[in-house]
Amino acid sequence: MRLGIYQCDAGGLSAKARLSALELRLADREVDLMVCPELFASGYMAVDHAGLAEPAEGPFFEAVADMARRYETAVCYGYPEAADGCVYNSARLVGPDGAALANHRKRLASPGSFEEQTFTNGGAPTLVSFGGLNVAIIICYEVELPESLRKAALAGAELALVPTALVDQWGIVAEKVVPTRAFENGLWLAYANHAGEENGARYLGGSRIVAPDGVEEAVAGAEEAVIVAEVDAARVVKARKRLPYLRDAVKL
């Protein structure tokens, strides 16, 4: 599977402008799956997430689904979800036929952030089959806890999609923690961040696609970019055979 990450510089842009930017990237790159950052639909540092929130199959979803069909490309994107009187920090996976494949609600708010007052925590992990791989969706801070990805891997995950909004003071997360999570669980990891500035915050960039052996197959700089890598299940099997962490973890 040809996997891409769209590291976008979209601070201050409307949802329509963000969709237009995404379409240009889909038209420019032939990928099977494109991963966009956390709260891509609204912007992470948006002033009014509740006002910008939509149902899981709202207008933004419909627009992405249309693009997915036209470019025959699956898309994973973050958005503020309105459901049951609550607002969730969610990520939606749309198939290349425009079908809704999965919807993950962030289970842990980033500590000390506006998220704690703005969003309701999700209640369940998310795992779906796509492109010959078992795919977990995990949002930002969730990946920083080793238990989160370990549980997903033990449930069968071979690829983790991680939309994020990492600012420039936390480079250690992208550069050290994320490759470690891929290595210690023997899975592919797609870490999709924002670029540029938004309402006083400067994003790190640094999106990356990490292989199951911890090798960084593609890494973005600080600016807007699309990075691409070929991912497959064979490298998962090889990594887990060489270092059987998952087999032995349950013995502890």
Query: Model confidence at 144, in pLDDT bands (50, 70, 90)?
Result: very high
In one letter, which amino acid is 214? G
User: Active site residue: 8, 38, 54, 144, which one?
Assistant: 38
pLDDT digits (tens, 9 = 90+) for 214-235: 999 999 999 999 999 999 999 9
Annotated catalytic residue, options 8, 54, 76, 106: 106
Query: Is the sign of the CA dihedral 147, 149, 152, 154 positive or negative?
Result: negative
**CB contact at 8 A, 60 and 39:** no
Residue 77 has a pLDDT of 98
- If residue 83 lies in a helix (H) or strand (E), which one and from where to where? strand 74-83
pLDDT in tens, 20-79: 999 999 999 899 999 999 999 999 999 999 999 999 999 999 999 999 999 999 999 999
pLDDT-derived band at 130 (thresholds 50, 70, 90) equals: very high
**Overall pTM > 0.85:** yes
36 is catalytic: no
Maximum Cα interatomic distance, the chain, rounded to a whole number of Å: 51
pLDDT of residue 28: 92
* Active site (annotated) includes residue 106: yes
In this structure, what token pair is assigned to residue 13?
């842009």
Measured between alpha carbons, how far is 97 from 94 in angstroms, rounded to an integer? 8
What is d(CA 162, CA 154) in angstroms, rounded to the nearest whole number? 17
Instruction: Compute the mean pLDDT over every residue in the chain, rounded to the nearest whole number.
Output: 97
Question: Structurally, how many domains does the chain consist of?
Answer: 1
Residue of 54, 140, 142, 198 marked catalytic: 140
CATH code for the domain in which residue 171 is found: 3.60.110.10
Question: Known catalytic residue: 142?
Answer: no
Q: Give the domain range for residue 79.
A: 2-249
Residue 71: predicted pLDDT: 98
